[in-house]
Amino acid sequence: MENNKLMKLTLKIWRQKDAKAKGGFETYQVEGISPDTSFLEMLDILNNKLIHEGREPVAFDHDCREGICGMCSLYINGKAHGPDSEITTCQLHMRKFKDGDTITIEPWRSAAFPVIRDLVVERQAFDKILQAGGFVSVNTGGVPDANSIPIPKADADESMDAAACIGCGACVATCKNGSAMLFVAARVSSLAKLPQGRVEAQRRAKAMVAKMDELGFGNCTNTGACQAECPKGINIAHIARLNREFLSAKFKD
Amino acid sequence: MEDVKAIRNGAKKASDIEEKDRDYYLERRYPAFGNLVPRDVASRAAKERCDAGFGVNETGLAVFLDFKTAIERLGEDVIRARYGNLFQMYEKITDVDPYKEPMMIYPAVHYTMGGLWVDYNLMTTVPGLYAIGEANFSDHGANRLGASALMQGLADGYFVLPYTIGDYLSKKIQAPKVATDTPAFDAAEKAVREKIDKLLAIKGKHTVDEFHKKLGNVMWEDVGMARSKESLERAIAQIAQLRKEFWKDVYVPGENGEFNQEIEKALRLVDFLELGELMARDALNRNESCGGHFRVEYQTPEGETLRDDEKYAYVAVWEYKGADTAPEMHKEELHFEVAHPAQRNYKD
Ligand code: FES
């Protein structure tokens, strides 16, 4: 609250009319930005100003604005979700910048995520991977009694940690190979650690990896960049579990 | 009051306020339940404190939630294991460490009670269109408890829908691909196109966001946590006025047929204007207080909700009658066979 100075900022924003158009950066100014403003609110302010000036507002993705849905997706000053750790863009606040700063804002860049417009990219590839295996199809019958299947706390915790993935795609955008391994691993791991999901663990790993390859995501070379940029701090140890499930499935073929 | 001022201008931190100078208003008002009162009660009490001038933060729109004694009693690790993700979210938003300083909290609209009418199979009035989770009205009553959204999503998606939708689909298994060259489809497509063209053609002076904020204010002030006949009638009139202005003076930039988020926002706002008005009408019709619906005229001497089960033990189902016609209400009576409703009491 001491830092109550309103900020003036220069924004270099990627503009691209549609998937086929050649995009480029355009420069904008915003003023009177409170450090307590969120990054997306700052973009709202910019857009409102642009509309009043008769210019096209900047398209960007967002929904919950509280870090739980995975819709927001900006590459800010060369980092997925901007210069703070374990947060999504919508949780980033302007106090992380200084008055007079120039901020560069780009969309996720990856062959598997084509730009739809400006900062919005098509992330359907993730849905397709999920449709290939990210579910439980064994019928578990009627409502079971609570606690009738005990699950060790360590397993439940690990499953929950992996389930924290919100599918935003920061891992893909950050990875120099454009690999979706962290995303796939988080799904495989969270389900494999619970009894209902365990049954299909190997089949699931195989199906999801096959889909990922088919959709043009790159290979994982263990650089660990994804983990560093993941807003939910998903650990690359899950990739090891995915590899294990995948290999045992392959051996059985 | 001096402490409030000192906190607002940054001269004092919340943790500087001595125990004897603190007002634990929930414990004062609800000794038996304290901080565990239902969220509508807690929210109303927080807003009451802020409206009375005791709010902190630069805006005056916050009260404190202090985990100090809980941390002393259970240890930081236990609190971290339970609420770590929420505390982290809070720290990122406010830049204040909630393990050290009391949290600043204020009620906000997070969800609404009610939703689309569905039958026991979760099908809406449109044949073949199912609504599950929070979108339908079926499971949650006049109030919500923590995690009821999650509960309803799981219950509907895991335990109900798999057993009901098959019944509908089984009769459709031979049905051909749905045709789009029918008069009904053409009419629907034309209506949507016309609506979008109309929005784009207005080229007024105000953005969709500006209208949206105005609507939000009306809902917050007059159809919010405490409402009255007077405030609801005012809201209905204001929304009608706002709708008029919107259709006269909104500016939706860009073109149709391209990825245009402003068109999307505008179309949503058209729906919100309708829904907001419907909520006000429904609240006006219900001359009682019940759960999250608190009509100031209907309260006990202690200021708690006062129901009228004789007259209002029903779900109000509103039937859409067209854009310019008042909706029609149908009643679904509620029958309680096992658990019977009783007057809430959080005092003792
Ligand atoms: S908008 Fe939902 S996570 Fe950012």
pLDDT digit string, tens, across residues B318-341:
999 987 788 999 999 998 898 888
Does one domain contain both A109 and A157? no
Residue linked to tokens 């120039």: A102
Residue linked to tokens 């494999």: A192
Residues A35-56: what's their mean pLDDT?
A: 96
Contacts of B262 in chain A (CB under 8 A): 51, 57
Does one domain contain both B93 and B10? yes
Say if the Cβ atoms of B258 and A67 lie within 8 Å: no
Over chain A, what is the mean pLDDT?
93
Q: Is residue B175 part of a domain?
A: no
- In this complex, the residue of A2, A93, A116 whose CB is nearest that of residue B259 is A116
Residue linked to tokens 């979210």: B89
Does one domain contain both A26 and A101? yes
State both tokens at B3. 């402490």
Q: Is residue B47 part of a domain?
A: yes
Does one domain contain both A181 and A86? no
State both tokens at A166. 């919100």
Does one domain contain both A142 and A187? yes
Q: Which of A97, A117, A137 is the last residue of a domain?
A: A117
Residue B301's pLDDT band, with cuts at 50, 70 and 90, is confident
What one-character DSSP code corresponds to residue B102? P
Q: Structural domain of residue B222, as residue ranges?
A: 181-333
pLDDT value at residue B30: 85
C-alpha A66, offset from chain centre: 14
C-alpha B244, offset from chain centre: 24
State both tokens at A27. 């420069």
CATH number of residue B58's parent domain: 3.90.700
Return the number of other C-beta atoms located less than 10 Å from residue B28's C-beta: 10
C-alpha to C-alpha distance for A86 and A164, rounded to whole angstroms: 12
Q: Is residue B60 part of a domain?
A: yes
Does one domain contain both B138 and B91? no
Does one domain contain both B191 and B230? yes
Say if the Cβ atoms of A95 and B254 lie within 8 Å: no
Does one domain contain both A137 and A220? yes
C-alpha to C-alpha distance for A34 and B57, rounded to whole angstroms: 14
C-alpha to C-alpha distance for A242 and A90, rounded to whole angstroms: 30
- Tell me which residue of B330, B294, B324 sits closest to B40, measured CA to CA: B294
With a 6 A CB cut-off, is A71 part of the ligand 1 pocket? yes
Does one domain contain both A78 and A135? no
Angle between the B229-249 and B208-222 helix axes, to the nearest 10 degrees?
A: 170
Does one domain contain both B192 and B327? yes
- The helix/strand count (H/E) of chain A reads as 9, 7
CATH number of residue A160's parent domain: 1.10.1060.10
Q: Please report the beta strands in A34-100, taking only residues with DSSP state E, as ranges in sequence order.
A: 75-76, 79-80
Does one domain contain both A81 and A108? yes
Does one domain contain both A140 and A230? yes
Q: Structural domain of residue A88, as residue ranges?
A: 2-117
Q: Please report the beta strands in chain B, taking only residues with DSSP state E, as ranges in sequence order.
A: 63-65, 103-105, 314-319, 328-333
Residue A41 has pLDDT above 80, yes or no: yes
Following DSSP, what letter does each residue of B72-88 receive, concatenated? HHH-HHHHHHHHHHHHH
Cα of A90 to ligand 1 centre, how many Å? 5
pLDDT value at residue A248: 87
C-alpha to C-alpha distance for A9 and A39, rounded to whole angstroms: 12
CB-based contact, A56 to chain B, within 8 Å: yes
CATH number of residue A100's parent domain: 3.10.20.30
Does one domain contain both B150 and B279? no
Does one domain contain both B40 and B84? yes
Give A242 or B5, the one with higher predicted confidence: A242
Total domains in chain B come to 3
C-alpha to C-alpha distance for A243 and B204, rounded to whole angstroms: 57
Residue B347's pLDDT band, with cuts at 50, 70 and 90, is low
Q: Which of A70, A88, A117 is the last residue of a domain?
A: A117
Report which protein residue has its CA nearest ligand 1's atom 3: A67
List A45's β-bridge partners, or say none: none
Does one domain contain both A143 and A113? no
Does one domain contain both B80 and B140? no
Over chain B, what is the mean pLDDT?
91
Does one domain contain both B320 and B231? yes
Does one domain contain both B273 and B205? yes
Q: Which of B105, B124, B146 is the last residue of a domain?
A: B105
Residue linked to tokens 């946590």: B225
Does one domain contain both A87 and A143? no
Does one domain contain both B327 and B219? yes
Distances (CA, A) of B46 to B22, B51, B52, B54, B107: 15, 9, 10, 10, 7
Does one domain contain both A113 and A127? no
Q: Which of A85, A117, A149 is the last residue of a domain?
A: A117
pLDDT value at residue B123: 97
Does one domain contain both B265 and B155? no
Q: Is this prediction's ipTM beyond 0.95?
A: no
Mutate to test the pocket of ligand 1, among A44, A63, A84, A120 (most ligand atoms within 8 A of CB): A63
Q: Is residue B339 part of a domain?
A: no
Quote the percentage of chain A above a pLDDT of 70: 96
Q: Is residue B265 part of a domain?
A: yes
pTM for this prediction: 0.90
Q: Is residue B172 part of a domain?
A: no
Q: Is residue B131 part of a domain?
A: yes
pLDDT digit string, tens, across residues A133-156:
999 887 766 667 767 888 999 999
Nearest Cα residue in chain A from B81: A157
